[in-house]
Structures are given as structure tokens and as C-alpha cells.
Amino acid sequence: MNELSHPTPTVTCGPLPASTKIHVAGERHPGLRVPMRRIALHPTAAEPPVTIYDASGPYTDPAARIDIARGLPRTRADWIAARGDTETYAGRRVRPEDNGFAEGDRLTPEFPALPIPRRATKGAVTQLAYARAGIVTAEMEYAAIRENLGRSTAATRDGEAFGAAIPDFVTPEFVRDEIAAGRAILPANINHPELEPMVIGRNFLVKINANIGNSAVTSSMAEEVEKMVWAIRWGADTVMDLSTGRNIHNIREWIIRNAPVPIGTVPLYQALEKVGGVAEDLTWEVYRDTLIEQAEQGVDYFTIHAGLRLHHIPLTVDRVTGIVSRGGSIMAKWCLHHHRESFLYEHFEEICEIMRAYDVSFSLGDGLRPGSIADANDAAQFAELETLGELTQIAWKHDCQVMIEGPGHVPMHKIKENMDRQLEVCAEAPFYTLGPLTTDIAPGYDHITSGIGAAMIGWFGTAMLCYVTPKEHLGLPDRDDVKTGVITYKIAAHAADLAKGHPAARLRDDALSRARFEFRWEDQFNLSLDPDTARAFHDQTLPKEAHKVAHFCSMCGPKFCSMRISHDIRAEAKSKGMLEMAERYRAGGDLYMPAD
């Protein structure tokens, strides 16, 4: 499409069924309005509405005025300025190569209301630096409130947390302490004031990331902004813009200015565009320029493949699928061509100095992750992990926030070793994994092959799960693929929270199960991760409104509804007579004994 003919694309807005956006106020920072989603239940339900985590931003708030060309309110601007440790400055001028030399109709228009960039006057302005100084920032309190889902009581604890220590209630101090310990990050670039702060760590709710981004082959700014809004509507906690090809500077600006969630990127992709896609022509200077360009725009975390070192490359030679990380393969090619150590590794401390001046968090990339079951947990993968552990210490030395990226393709019996090694080698820095995919034989269904691995590694302690869509290995995900990927990963993350014994996780399951048992079909739909699909499936066979209170569904039909029968049983069972009778039978013992 011609972007100029659609200067301001429209995005999906409006609340989900039966849902209201509520805002919880802060205590330490009275101005805070922390959004949550309240799901109303049917009047016949003898229970209160259910409040859940809400990553969807103002788009689901009917009271919000949405104008993509204006961007979201810059709520954090005052908090950041008030800290008095940053300054505004002219900033880097946009150059033609930033947009791949796109011109005229092919150039995505610049975002109309460009903000003035800000940077640290000196030292680190990271949430880690504040946490270490004992400061509870507004961002920390905001994230703490979100984690409690508006609860006043703690649910029963029941789970196996594998060493995670999730508190009954998350306090702002707990968020601070987890960040100070390096066990959690709060990705929040000072140039992304539109952000609704959230925390990523093993002792918090498991988060999910959705990847969007155009490629040289397809898609546009309008589509990408809508994909971002669509992804968070269904629950994506962070979004990575993996755009390549042209217009990536301008597309990214539109995305960040309209994003209430942290935005991540892989700066190497744009750096490669700047040198015409020739890996060996990459230089530290081009890369450094790209880091500053994106830090000024407000990217919250950078995937940086500094762990892939020259001497690791020979370890990949006998792999079935070689190097499958884009960033990893680009850096490997550079190292090999020049027979030199990676410039990302050699300049790592300079990178830290840039990151801490804007509070861009590190997502240390696993350039050597396995791309097949055959390559899982091999020498190349774990050699790189050792280096990521070493770089984590260096980043922490500079007060930079760090999370570690993980695989990939891993069979079930090798998943836990990935988690255990990462915790040990990277000193409990948050783990952020792609899947893992538990088999290679289902292209077209890799949201499922990976959803299995994601649920398991999330249970074992992974803090954030990067989604995989049905298009993985086959093409660029469209809007439907993004939704399917997000819902699948919400399932994996929630299954992990349940298994870890998160004190609030089961509340929604129990509310939905009670609705199911009481034939409150509307409540069952509204409490589900995807109310639209649940309702549509039910409508396929029982479209009438009357069916939405029917004591059966088309799966079994009226005569066979076990739940309906259960109600009769329950009524009778309450009568003492039945219990006595049962007692008598129990006393009577078994009619048969095992034939030894």
C-alpha cells in the first residue's frame, strides 16, 4: 500500500466482552493509575467479578481517545524528569540509510509528533541502579500493583516452584529487591514515556513476548502497528519489532509512540541494512550508531548476540541445522570473514555505557541456539551460554539490566537442563526462551510443538516466553497467526503459573469451572482467553440465546450431560440418608478380592 494515502492507520479498539478497565491507585506514588481488566459475571453468579492482568493498554478503554498520529499519553515523562538525572538534547539526525534509502511513495511517513530525546547526564539511569540505591521508583510500584491482580486475599498455595520464591503479595520493595539482585528486569527506556511498566522475573507472573515486523518480502507500517495493538489485546506482555528491509526507522517510531508495552529489537538487523546486507561490511561504528538511533527512539530492550565468539563457530560445523539465529549467523559470518573476535564481544563495555544512559535492557541473544532436535543441548549452545554468563556480570557491573535468551528446538527430556544451567551460569538473571519446540515434524503447527516446551520451561523457571506462530519456518505471521500465537503462549504461561503455585493463578480457572458447572455459558465465554472463539464455537451448533442458559451442549445432548446429572446427585448426596448408606457399603468391604 502507499503509506501516504493512509497517513493515520486505524487499529482495533474497544473492551473485550463483559470487561471493564479499572485503575488501581498507588500509595507511595499517589498519581499512579494501574490498569486491570474486570470481568463481570452473570447476575445469577453468587460471586464477585474476576480481575485479571491487563497488557492491552488504552486501546481497550472506551474513555481513551486513540489517535495513532498523536501516540499514547506520555505518562512517565514527569517521573523521569523529576529524577533530575537526565537531560534532553538535539539527538541524532535521521539519515536516508535509516529507512533503507526509501523515497517518495515508498517512504513510510515520519511520525508527526516526534519527541525530543533524553539521556543520562552522567552514569546509569537504569531501574537496576535505582534498586541498588534502595530507591523504589514509580515504575517499580506500578509493576508491583499489576502483579497482585487487585487481590485482597491470597489463594491456596499448591505447586512445585523449583526454587522460585513467589510471595503471597508483591510489594514495591519486593520488586526493587528482585531487580537489585538481578533476578528481575523492568524494561523501561527513558525515551519510552508511553510505557505501562511491567516486571520480568522468575518470582513474578510468567510473561510472553510477541514478535512482529515487516520483512524485505512483505508488509507495511499500518499492518505492523495494528499487529502490535492486536498482540497486546490478546495478552502479549512485550512486543519485539523484528523488521528488516526498508522503512524500519519510521515504522519503529510509529510502533513505539503507540506502544504501552516494552518494545524490543535486534539492532544488528538495521545495522546490516545500513551496509547493504553484506555481513562482512559491518563495523562497530555502524552498529554503535544504530544503538544510539534506537535508544533515542525509546526501544526498551536490545537483543545483542555478544556471546557468540570466534572460537565457538567450529563447534557448529557438524550440526544438522548449523546456526539458525539470524543475528548469530550474521555475526558468525563477520567473525569468519575477518578471522577476528566478534566486535560485539570486544566492545561490550562500550555497549553497556550506551545502554545505561537510556536504560535499555540487555536481552543477551543465543546466536547458537539449536535449530533441530538433533542439535539440542550441544557443545556450541552451552559454550555460548558460558559467555552469556560472563557478559551478565559485566553488564551488572555497569548497572545494566539483563535477561538471557534461550532455545530453540529441544526434546522434553532435555528441557530442564537448559533451565538449570542458565540459572547457574547466569546467576539467576531472567531467562527468556523461544518455545522450545519439542519436535521438528510439524511445520504449520509449531505454536503447538513449542507451546508444550514453553509451558514446561516456564514451570521450571523461565521468566518470559517468546511466542511461536503457526507460520514458523514457513512465512511471515499475519494477524490471525499473531492471535493464535499469543493465545497459545498465554495458555503456556498460565499453565506454568498454576504449576509453580502462583497464589493468584487458579482464581480464574476456578471461576470459569464454576461457571461451566453452573451452565453460565456467557460467563464461561467471558472468562476464557478468547471469548469470541469460545462463543463462535458454541454458536455453530446452538446459536439461540436460550442455548446460552441451556443445561447441556451439543457435545453430549440433554440426556447425557454429566454436569446436569451431577447437580441431581449433589442434591441427593447432601441428604444424610445417602451418606449413611454409603458408609454401610464402605464397611461391607469389597465384593471381590484381587486374584493374588
* Interactions with a second copy, residue window 216-235 (CB under 8 A): 216-218
The annotation status of 13 as a binding-site residue, yes or no, is no
The annotation status of 211 as a binding-site residue, yes or no, is yes
CB 288 within 8 A of CB 354: yes
Rule CB under 8 A: is residue 400 a binding residue for a second copy? Answer: no
The distance of closest approach from Cβ of residue 590 to a second copy in the complex, given in angstroms and rounded to an integer, is 7
In the set 79, 204, 254, 269, which binds a second copy (CB under 8 A)? 269
The distance of closest approach from Cβ of residue 391 to a second copy in the complex, given in angstroms and rounded to an integer, is 8
CB 227 within 8 A of CB 479: yes
Taking Cα atoms as reference points, which of 241, 197, 193 lies closest to residue 221?
Answer: 241
- Give the x-and-dash track for 9-28 against a second copy (CB under 8 A): --------------------
CB 314 within 8 A of CB 336: no
Rule CB under 8 A: is residue 243 a binding residue for a second copy? Answer: no
Q: How many residues bind a second copy (CB under 8 A)?
A: 149
* Contacting a second copy within 432-471 (CB under 8 A): 438-445, 447-449, 451-452, 455-456, 459, 470-471
Helices (H), 364-425: 379-397, 415-425
Helical (H) or strand (E) element with 344 = helix 343-346
Rule CB under 8 A: is residue 510 a binding residue for a second copy? Answer: yes
Residue located via cell numbers 455453530: 540
The distance of closest approach from Cβ of residue 414 to a second copy in the complex, given in angstroms and rounded to an integer, is 8
Check residue 409 and report its DSSP letter: B
Sign of CA dihedral 462, 196, 189, 476: positive
The distance of closest approach from Cβ of residue 334 to a second copy in the complex, given in angstroms and rounded to an integer, is 10
Rule CB under 8 A: is residue 71 a binding residue for a second copy? Answer: no
* Contacting a second copy within 554-573 (CB under 8 A): 554-563, 565-570, 572-573
The annotation status of 352 as a binding-site residue, yes or no, is no
* Contacting a second copy within 33-52 (CB under 8 A): none
In the set 476, 479, 504, 522, which binds a second copy (CB under 8 A)? 476
The CB density around residue 302, as the number of other CB atoms within 10 Å, is 25
* Contacting a second copy within 174-193 (CB under 8 A): none
Q: What are the cell numbers at 151? A: 487481590
The annotation status of 269 as a binding-site residue, yes or no, is yes
In the set 140, 239, 373, 486, which binds a second copy (CB under 8 A)? 373
Taking Cα atoms as reference points, which of 158, 147, 163, 157 lies closest to residue 460?
Answer: 163
Rule CB under 8 A: is residue 1 a binding residue for a second copy? Answer: no
Rule CB under 8 A: is residue 149 a binding residue for a second copy? Answer: no
Integer-rounded Cα Rg, in Å, for the chain is 25
The distance of closest approach from Cβ of residue 115 to a second copy in the complex, given in angstroms and rounded to an integer, is 30
Rule CB under 8 A: is residue 208 a binding residue for a second copy? Answer: no
CB 434 within 8 A of CB 406: yes
Binding part of the chain for a second copy, among 223-231, 252-260, 291-299, 523-531 by CB under 8 A, reads 523-531
The annotation status of 405 as a binding-site residue, yes or no, is yes
The CB density around residue 77, as the number of other CB atoms within 10 Å, is 14
- Give the x-and-dash track for 375-394 against a second copy (CB under 8 A): --------------xxx-xx
User: Based on CB atoms, which residue is closest to a second copy, 420 or 478?
Assistant: 478
Task: Give the DSSP letter string of 485-529.
Answer: HHHHHHHHHHHHHHHHT-TTHHHHHHHHHHHHHTT-HHHHHHTSS
Taking Cα atoms as reference points, which of 223, 366, 368, 228 lies closest to residue 303?
Answer: 366
**How far is the CA of 258 from the CAs of 73, 232, 295, in angstroms?**
9, 12, 16
On the CB side of 113, CA atoms within 13 Å amount to: 13
CB 310 within 8 A of CB 340: yes
Rule CB under 8 A: is residue 506 a binding residue for a second copy? Answer: yes
User: Based on CB atoms, which residue is closest to a second copy, 41 or 138?
Assistant: 41
In the set 350, 475, 479, 551, which binds a second copy (CB under 8 A)? 475
Rule CB under 8 A: is residue 287 a binding residue for a second copy? Answer: no
The annotation status of 189 as a binding-site residue, yes or no, is no
* Contacting a second copy within 481-500 (CB under 8 A): 487-488, 490-492, 494-496, 498-500
The span from the CA of 176 to the CA of 357, in Å, is 20
In the set 194, 472, 522, 523, which binds a second copy (CB under 8 A)? 472
In the set 371, 406, 461, 485, which binds a second copy (CB under 8 A)? 371
Task: Give the DSSP letter string of 416-447.
Answer: HHHHHHHHHHTTTPPEEEE--BS-SS-TT-HH
List phi, psi (to 5°) of 120.
Answer: -65, 140
The annotation status of 152 as a binding-site residue, yes or no, is no
- Give the x-and-dash track for 323-362 against a second copy (CB under 8 A): xxxx-xxx-xx--xx-x-x---xx-xx-------------
Rule CB under 8 A: is residue 313 a binding residue for a second copy? Answer: yes
The CB density around residue 592, as the number of other CB atoms within 10 Å, is 5
Rule CB under 8 A: is residue 419 a binding residue for a second copy? Answer: no
528: left (phi over 0), alpha (psi -120 to 50) or beta: beta
362: left (phi over 0), alpha (psi -120 to 50) or beta: beta
User: Based on CB atoms, which residue is closest to a second copy, 78 or 158?
Assistant: 158
The annotation status of 366 as a binding-site residue, yes or no, is yes
Could you tell me which residues are annotated as the binding site for Zn(2+)? Answer: 409, 473
